[in-house]
C-alpha cells in the first residue's frame, strides 16, 4: 500500500444490530490505528445494500446472526452484487464457525469470530480483505484490457500446447470457420492444417523444445473446418502457458494480398509480353526497311541500269546484247514481283486478312498443279514425288497449299547441292494428311529450328550466301496454321532437312 493510499480513509460499513458490539468495534478501529477508518453502522440488511450501492464503501463488516441461516449466505452475494469492489468480512460465533467458512465460499473475503475478536486481528483482517479486493480489481482490469485487445484483434492469436489449441481468439475461431473457441480447444492443429502448416507446426514445436527465443515468421496454408484453405502469415514464439511449454502463434490472413500478388504478377507478365512484342515489331520494322532498301533496290537498280544502257544514244548495242539486257530486266522484274507478292502475303497473314478459298480437293490435284513450278525450281535436282493412292480427300485452298509446296521445294533446291534428290511425299495420319519435303542439303541446326519460321529470319550462311528474303517459311507457317495445321522441322537421321506440315481433313480456316 502506498503512502498516499495509506492516508486515504478506509470506509467501513458495519452491519450489526447489537449496540455494544457496534461500540466495541468502533473503538477498536479508532484506537491506536495508524489508519484512518471511517465507520458507518446500519442495523438492517436492506439498508446496508442501499449504502454499499450508493456510497463509497471499502469493506463491509457483516454480522451473520442478523439474518436467518438461509439469508446469511444470500446476504454476502447480495452485497457483492450491489458493490463488487467492496470487500466483505463476516462476523460469526465460535459455535457457528462453519457459517463463516461457507460465507468464504459464497464470496466473502474473510471471517472473524466475534468471541475472539481483537483490535489487531480486526484491523489485519480488514486490511487483508480491502487489499485483496483492490488487487483482484486491478488484475481483472488488466486481464480485461488484454482480453479486449485479443478479442478485437483482426489477426488470429492462437496458443498451442502439445500441438493442440489451448487458446484461440475470435479472429482465429472465425478464420478456422468454427462457431466458438470451445469447438476447437483441445483439437490438434494437424486436423486443421495442410501439410505446409503441419510442417510449420512441427518446426514450432521443435523451436519450442530448443527454447529458441526468436519469433519465427512464415507463410502457411491453413485449412479451415469446411476444407477450404486460407493463406496465413504466422509469427510464432515459445511461451509458458499455464505452466506448460507452448507456442504463441499470431496469424494474419494474407489471402487478399496473395491474390493481389498473383494479379500483379499476371499484369507484369502481360506487360512484359506486350513490351517484347512491341520490341519485336520495332525490330521487324527495321529489318523490313533494311530489306526494302536492299532487296527491292537491287533488282530495281539493274532494271534501271540495263534499260538506261539500252536507251543510251552514244553507244550502239548489238541485237544479241539488247536481247541479253532485256532478259536480265525481265528476270529482275520477276524477282521484284515475287518479292512484292511475298511482302503482300506476309502483311496480310500478319494482319489476319489473307483471303483463302477452301474447297474439297485431293492432294494429287494440288501437287499436279504446281509440278511445273517445282520442276523449274529444282531443275538441277532430282525431284521425286511419292503420293499413295489411298490418300483421303482434303478441304483446302489449293492455290495456297500449292504455294507452300513450291516454297518448300524451292528452299530444298536452294540449300542442297545440284543433282541431289528432293523428295515430296504425303501420307494419311490421325484425321490429317502429313506432307514432307526432304532434301540432302546443308540441314538446319537444332538451335535455329524455331527461328526459321520467324519473319525475315535468314539462317547463318552455310556454303555461301543464298538469295532470299527470310519471308518464305513465315508465310508457309501462316498459310498452314490458317488451315488449322502445323508446320515443323523434322529431325533427320542423315544429313539434309525435312520440313513437314499437316492439314486436318476438315480444317477450320482461320485466316
Give the residue with the Cβ less far from ligand ADP, 26 or 457: 457
Can you tell me the distance from the alpha carbon of 452 to that of 488, in angstroms, rounded to the nearest whole number?
A: 10
Residue 442 interacts with ligand ADP (CB under 6 A)?
yes
Residue 452 interacts with ligand ADP (CB under 6 A)?
yes
Distances (CA, A) of 119 to 13, 32, 33: 17, 9, 9
CB of 399 to ligand ADP, least distance (A): 19
CB of 367 to ligand ADP, least distance (A): 18
Residue 497 interacts with ligand ADP (CB under 6 A)?
yes
Q: Which residue do the cell numbers 484483434 mark?
A: 153
Give the residue with the Cβ less far from ligand ADP, 402 or 472: 472
Q: Which residue do the cell numbers 494419311 mark?
A: 428
Residue 459 interacts with ligand ADP (CB under 6 A)?
yes
Q: How many angstroms separate the most distant Cα atoms in the chain?
A: 160
* Residue of 246, 250, 251 whose CA lies nearest to 162: 246
Site for ligand ADP (CB under 6 A): which residue of 402, 441, 478, 507? 441
CB of 415 to ligand ADP, least distance (A): 3
Residue 377 interacts with ligand ADP (CB under 6 A)?
no
Can you tell me the distance from the alpha carbon of 174 to that of 181, in angstroms, rounded to the nearest whole number?
A: 9
Cα dihedral 375, 380, 381, 385, rounded to 10, equals 10
Neighbours of 393 (CB within 10 A): 12
Give the residue with the Cβ less far from ligand ADP, 63 or 439: 439
Give the residue with the Cβ less far from ligand ADP, 84 or 495: 495
Take residue 275 and report the three cell numbers written for it. 513490351
3-state DSSP of 413-462: HHCCCCCCEEEEEEEEECCEEEEEEECCCCCCCHHHCCHHHCCCCCCCCC
Residue 501 interacts with ligand ADP (CB under 6 A)?
no
> Nearest to ligand ADP by Cβ — which residue?
459
* Residue of 503, 507, 420, 490 whose CA lies nearest to 452: 490
* Residue of 440, 439, 447, 445 whose CA lies nearest to 462: 445
* Residue of 9, 25, 95, 27 whose CA lies nearest to 62: 25
Can you tell me the distance from the alpha carbon of 143 to that of 149, in angstroms, rounded to the nearest whole number?
A: 10
CB of 490 to ligand ADP, least distance (A): 11
Take residue 256 and report the three cell numbers written for it. 487478399
Neighbours of 483 (CB within 10 A): 25
CB of 456 to ligand ADP, least distance (A): 8
Parallel, antiparallel or unpaired: strands 10-15 and 244-253? unpaired
Distances (CA, A) of 341 to 92, 129, 471, 477: 119, 107, 11, 16
Residue 406 interacts with ligand ADP (CB under 6 A)?
no
β-sheet bridge partners, residue 498: 438, 490
Residue 415 interacts with ligand ADP (CB under 6 A)?
yes
Site for ligand ADP (CB under 6 A): which residue of 444, 479, 487, 503? 444
Which one of the spans 65-73, 191-199, 274-282, 466-474 is the region binding ligand ADP (CB under 6 A)? 466-474
Contact 186, 164 (CB under 8 A): yes
Cα 71 to chain centroid distance, Å, stands at 66
Which one of the spans 186-194, 198-206, 296-304, 462-470 is the region binding ligand ADP (CB under 6 A)? 462-470
Which one of the spans 23-31, 309-317, 379-387, 408-416 is the region binding ligand ADP (CB under 6 A)? 408-416
Which one of the spans 45-53, 168-176, 389-397, 456-464 is the region binding ligand ADP (CB under 6 A)? 456-464
Site for ligand ADP (CB under 6 A): which residue of 469, 478, 482, 485? 469
Residue 207 interacts with ligand ADP (CB under 6 A)?
no
Can you tell me the distance from the alpha carbon of 394 to that of 502, in angstroms, rounded to the nearest whole number?
A: 11
The phi and psi torsions of 188 (rounded to 5 degrees) equal -75, 145
Give the residue with the Cβ less far from ligand ADP, 90 or 473: 473
Binding mask 420-439 for ligand ADP (x = CB under 6 A): -------------------x
Which one of the spans 75-83, 199-207, 224-232, 453-461 is the region binding ligand ADP (CB under 6 A)? 453-461
Give the residue with the Cβ less far from ligand ADP, 219 or 454: 454
Residue 403 interacts with ligand ADP (CB under 6 A)?
no
Give the residue with the Cβ less far from ligand ADP, 239 or 284: 284
CB of 351 to ligand ADP, least distance (A): 19
Which one of the spans 2-10, 99-107, 231-239, 452-460 is the region binding ligand ADP (CB under 6 A)? 452-460
Residue 468 interacts with ligand ADP (CB under 6 A)?
yes
The residues binding ligand ADP (CB under 6 A) are: 411-412, 415, 439, 441-442, 444, 452, 457-459, 468-474, 497
Amino acid at each position: 500500500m502506498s503512502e498516499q493510499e495509506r492516508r486515504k480513509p478506509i470506509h467501513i460499513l458495519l452491519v450489526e444490530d447489537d449496540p455494544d458490539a457496534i461500540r466495541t468495534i468502533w473503538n477498536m478501529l479508532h484506537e491506536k490505528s495508524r489508519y484512518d477508518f471511517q465507520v458507518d453502522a446500519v442495523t438492517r440488511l436492506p439498508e446496508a445494500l442501499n449504502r454499499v450501492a450508493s456510497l463509497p464503501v471499502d469493506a463491509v463488516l457483516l454480522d451473520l446472526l442478523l439474518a436467518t441461516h438461509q439469508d446469511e449466505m444470500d446476504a454476502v452475494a447480495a452485497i457483492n452484487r450491489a458493490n463488487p469492489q467492496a470487500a466483505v468480512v463476516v462476523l460469526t460465533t465460535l459455535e457457528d464457525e462453519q457459517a463463516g467458512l461457507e460465507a468464504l465460499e459464497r464470496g466473502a473475503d474473510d471471517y472473524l469470530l466475534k468471541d475472539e475478536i481483537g483490535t489487531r486481528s480486526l484491523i489485519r483482517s480488514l486490511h487483508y480483505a480491502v487489499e485483496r479486493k483492490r488487487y483482484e480489481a486491478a488484475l481483472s482490469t488488466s486481464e480485461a484490457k488484454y482480453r479486449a485487445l485479443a478479442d478485437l484483434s483482426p489477426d488470429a492469436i492462437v496458443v498451442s500446447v502439445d500441438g493442440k489449441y489451448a487458446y484461440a481468439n475470435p479472429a482465429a475461431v472465425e478464420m478456422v470457420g468454427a462457431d466458438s473457441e470451445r469447438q476447437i480447444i483441445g483439437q490438434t492443429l494437424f486436423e486443421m492444417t495442410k501439410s505446409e502448416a503441419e510442417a510449420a507446426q512441427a518446426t514450432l514445436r521443435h523451436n519450442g523444445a530448443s527454447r529458441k527465443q526468436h519469433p519465427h515468421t512464415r507463410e502457411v496454408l491453413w485449412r479451415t473446418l469446411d476444407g477450404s484453405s486460407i493463406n496465413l502469415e504466422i509469427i510464432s514464439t515459445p511461451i509458458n502457458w499455464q505452466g506448460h511449454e507452448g507456442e504463441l502463434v499470431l496469424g494474419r490472413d494474407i489471402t487478399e494480398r496473395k491474390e493481389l500478388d498473383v494479379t500483379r504478377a499476371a499484369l507484369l507478365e502481360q506487360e512484359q509480353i506486350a513490351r517484347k512484342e512491341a520490341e519485336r515489331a520495332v525490330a521487324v520494322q527495321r529489318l523490313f526497311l533494311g530489306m526494302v532498301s536492299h532487296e527491292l533496290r537491287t533488282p530495281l537498280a539493274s532494271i534501271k541500269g540495263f534499260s538506261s544502257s539500252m536507251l543510251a544514244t552514244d553507244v550502239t548495242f548489238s541485237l544479241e546484247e539488247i536481247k541479253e539486257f532485256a532478259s536480265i530486266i525481265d528476270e529482275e522484274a520477276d524477282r521484284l514481283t515475287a518479292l512484292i507478292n511475298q511482302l503482300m502475303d506476309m502483311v496480310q497473314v500478319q494482319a489476319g486478312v489473307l483471303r483463302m478459298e477452301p474447297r474439297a480437293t485431293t492432294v494429287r490435284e494440288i501437287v499436279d498443279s504446281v509440278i511445273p513450278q517445282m520442276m523449274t525450281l529444282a531443275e538441277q535436282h532430282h525431284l521425286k514425288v511419292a503420293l499413295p493412292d489411298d490418300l483421303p480427300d482434303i478441304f483446302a485452298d489449293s492455290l495456297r497449299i500449292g504455294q507452300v509446296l513450291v516454297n518448300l521445294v524451292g528452299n530444298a533446291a536452294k540449300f542442297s547441292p545440284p543433282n541431289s534428290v528432293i523428295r515430296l511425299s504425303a501420307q494419311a495420319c490421325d484425321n490429317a494428311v502429313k506432307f514432307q519435303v526432304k532434301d540432302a542439303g546443308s540441314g538446319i541446326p537444332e538451335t535455329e529450328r524455331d527461328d526459321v519460321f520467324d519473319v525475315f529470319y535468314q539462317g547463318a550462311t552455310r556454303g555461301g550466301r543464298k538469295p532470299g528474303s527470310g519471308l518464305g517459311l513465315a508465310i508457309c507457317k501462316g498459310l498452314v496454321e490458317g488451315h488449322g495445321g502445323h508446320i515443323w522441322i523434322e529431325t533427320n537421321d542423315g544429313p539434309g532437312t525435312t520440313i513437314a506440315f499437316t492439314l486436318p481433313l476438315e480444317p477450320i480456316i482461320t485466316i
